[in-house]
Structure 1
Amino acid sequence: MSADLLGIATIDILLFTFLVVTAVAIMHLRNLFAVVMLAGVFSLLSASLFVTLDAVDVAFTEAAVGAGISTVLMLGTLALTVREEKKPAHSVFLPVLVCLVAGAALIYGTLDMPAFGSADAPIHLHVAPAYIERTPIDTGVPNIVTAVLASYRGYDTLGETAVIFTAAIAVLLLLGAGTRQSGKDGSKE
């Protein structure tokens, strides 16, 4: 393994470790404010992991929606509710069992995947060469990445842009909601 791949793998393992530690901390906390803050940290760690995996568009969406608008909405909800979670009346055995079964199914689903960074992965043998060959003819765009994002995946990119735009507008509305003062007659100034 080259030094670059070793460094990237080390960063990925470190980020995954932080994700697991954050998730375990969220599970054990009863203070809902701390849970909301750690959920925002979890989203930022996920966005960082997406960047290391070269999925910058997904990382940007995760940062804007997961860490941005979700945290603001949860804090707004927290302002209207209690600060401490009540102790559950039921056993934690069933939820843990469901998580273990779902986790085992996810791990089982990854057993057929090619090795990380493998040059003979199906995407490198079939999909990438087709894009490289057909992009200038199909789209007329010389940059393959731009062609894939704007043409082949145009609707997906439009959807991601709409989500980010909506999240930004919602954050601006929430931050600016309390800035106007009411006059004596109750009307906004």
Structure 2
Amino acid sequence: MTANVIGIAIIDILLFTFLVITAIAIVRVRNLFAVAMLAGVFSLLSAGLFVTLDAMDVAFTEAAVGAGISTVLMLGTLALTVREEKPPSHSVFLPLLVCLVTGAALIYGTLDMPPFGAADNPIQTHVAPEYLQRTPEEIGIPNVVAAVLASYRGFDTMGEVFVVFAALVGVLLLLGASHPKRDDDVADREKE
């Protein structure tokens, strides 16, 4: 192994460690402001991990949506609610059981998948070679991932942007609708 591969492996291990520590802190903390901030930190750590995996587009999206927009929306929501989480009135065993069963089902669902990164995987033998071969000729963009997102999946990407925008508008409308009218506005209307 080269020093570069070892360095990247160490960075990946550190990022995963920080992700686990942050996730545990999110579960343990009762202050909702701290939870919102820790969720933003979790998204930034995830974006850093995506950068080490050479997935710059996913890293950018995670940083913008996960750490940026989501954190702002959570803080806006916190302005209208209480700062501390109420203690649970039920046992923690039922949610733990649901998580364990869901996790077991997800792991069971991956048991028959081909090995990760194997050269004979269907994605490596059918889809990827077509994109790698046709992209420079059809699109003229050297970055295949950007070409796939912007051209081949352009409508899907545009749809994702519209969904995020619609969610933002919806939250802003909900936040604006819950504010009572100020006394100044009522006094100005009475003068008219």
Query: TM-score, structure 1 length as denominator?
Result: 0.74
Q: 1:62 to 1:87 in 2, by over 3 A?
A: same
Paired AA for residue 88 in structure 2: P
Bigger shift: residues 18-27 or 145-154: 145-154
Q: 1:75 to 1:147 in 2, by over 3 A?
A: closer
Paired AA for residue 143 in structure 1: P
**Separation of aligned partners in 1, 2:74 and 2:7:** 36
Mapped contact 1:30–1:85 kept (Cα < 8 A): yes
Q: Aligned residue for 1:156? A: 156
**Separation of aligned partners in 2, 1:161 and 1:56:** 17
Mapped contact 1:61–1:160 kept (Cα < 8 A): no
Unaligned segments of structure 1, at least 5 residues: none
**Separation of aligned partners in 2, 1:4 and 1:123:** 27
Paired AA for residue 82 in structure 1: V
C-alpha displacement at 1:21, in angstroms? 0.9
Q: Aligned residue for 1:107? A: 107
Q: Aligned residue for 2:181? A: none
Mapped contact 1:39–1:71 kept (Cα < 8 A): yes
Q: 1:63 to 1:147 in 2, by over 3 A?
A: closer
Deviations 1:120-168 (A, max 9, x none): 544333322222333355x25253525323321212332344467x39x
Q: Aligned residue for 2:15? A: 15
Q: Aligned residue for 1:79? A: 79
Deviations 1:76-99 (A, max 9, x none): 221221111111111101111111
Q: 1:80 to 1:110 in 2, by over 3 A?
A: same
**Separation of aligned partners in 1, 2:114 and 2:45:** 24
Q: 1:106 to 1:128 in 2, by over 3 A?
A: same
1:93 pairs with 2:93: yes
**Separation of aligned partners in 2, 1:28 and 1:150:** 40
**Separation of aligned partners in 2, 1:5 and 1:109:** 31
Which of 1 and 2 has higher RCO (CA within 8 Å, sep 6+)?
Answer: 1
Q: Aligned residue for 1:128? A: 128
Bigger shift: residues 7-16 or 40-49: 7-16
Secondary structure, aligned partner of 1:42: helix
C-alpha displacement at 1:62, in angstroms? 1.6
Paired AA for residue 29 in structure 1: V
Q: Aligned residue for 1:143? A: 142
Mapped contact 2:139–2:151 kept (Cα < 8 A): no
**Separation of aligned partners in 2, 1:142 and 1:65:** 25
Q: Aligned residue for 2:56? A: 56
Q: Cα RMSD (Å) of the superposition? A: 3.0
**Separation of aligned partners in 1, 2:10 and 2:157:** 30
**Separation of aligned partners in 1, 2:6 and 2:118:** 14
